[in-house]
């Protein structure tokens, strides 16, 4: 019997950082995450009810472009997406790819913005105008934006 995995849960993501104080300042003070437990080598962050864990690493190899690795959130309202974008602007968080609207007028229409943390971890924040597009139709193969390959 196949199990339905569409229930509610808190997402957990662990990622590398090179400096815990800098990670705490960026994610806590600038991006607005609630800071949880912390040690010399790890920091738990609450990003809109999801658990991020920054782990101290000796080195990080930055990737060129947003593929294959980035993480983020899909907001349920445009107002929430706009509020985060405004926070990024007010905190002078540079945009890796500026806020924009994709597929205007199409069922896949959505708003998106990319940022990079001080350790080159890339994040994308989205809002889909049509909630069904979040998990979308299997018949539509449009995923991602290859113009964002090999940037920076």
The per-residue pLDDT string of the chain (152 residues; one tens digit each, 9 = 90 and over) reads 777 777 788 899 999 999 999 999 999 999 999 999 999 999 999 999 999 999 999 999 888 888 888 999 999 999 999 999 999 999 999 999 999 999 999 999 999 999 999 999 999 999 999 999 988 777 777 787 766 665 65
* pTM summary value: 0.89
pLDDT of res. 7: 75
CATH code for the structural domain at 70-133: 3.10.180.10
Q: What angle do CA 60, 25, 72 make, to 5 degrees?
A: 60
Q: What six digits make up the tokens of 48?
A: 């809109």
Residue indicated by tokens 């205007």: 104
Give the pairing of strands 95-102 and 110-116.
Answer: antiparallel
pLDDT of res. 145: 75
Residue 82: enclosing H or E segment and its boundaries? Answer: helix 78-90
Give the residue extent of every domain in the chain: 10-58, 70-133
pLDDT of res. 40: 96
DSSP label at residue 65: B
End-to-end CA distance of the chain: 46
Residue indicated by tokens 């002078």: 92
pLDDT of res. 146: 67
Contact 16, 23 (CB under 8 A): no
Domain 10-58 top-level CATH class: alpha beta
Give the pairing of strands 71-75 and 122-128.
Answer: parallel
pLDDT of res. 151: 60
Secondary structure of residue 5 in the 3-state scheme = coil
């Amino acid at each position: 019997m196949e199990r339905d995995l569409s229930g509610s849960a808190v997402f957990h993501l662990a990622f590398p950082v090179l400096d815990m104080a800098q990670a705490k300042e960026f994610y806590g003070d600038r991006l607005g995450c609630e800071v949880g437990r912390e040690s010399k080598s790890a920091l738990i962050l609450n990003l809109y009810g999801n658990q991020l864990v920054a782990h101290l690493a000796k080195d990080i190899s930055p990737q060129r472009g947003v593929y294959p690795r980035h993480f983020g959130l899909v907001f349920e309202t445009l107002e929430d997406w706009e509020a985060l974008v405004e926070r990024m602007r007010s905190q002078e968080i540079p945009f890796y790819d500026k806020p924009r609207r994709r597929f205007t007028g199409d069922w896949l229409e959505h708003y998106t913005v990319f940022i990079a943390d001080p350790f080159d971890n890339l994040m994308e924040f989205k809002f889909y105008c049509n909630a069904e597009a979040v998990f979308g139709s299997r018949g539509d193969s449009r995923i991602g934006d290859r113009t964002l390959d090999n940037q920076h």
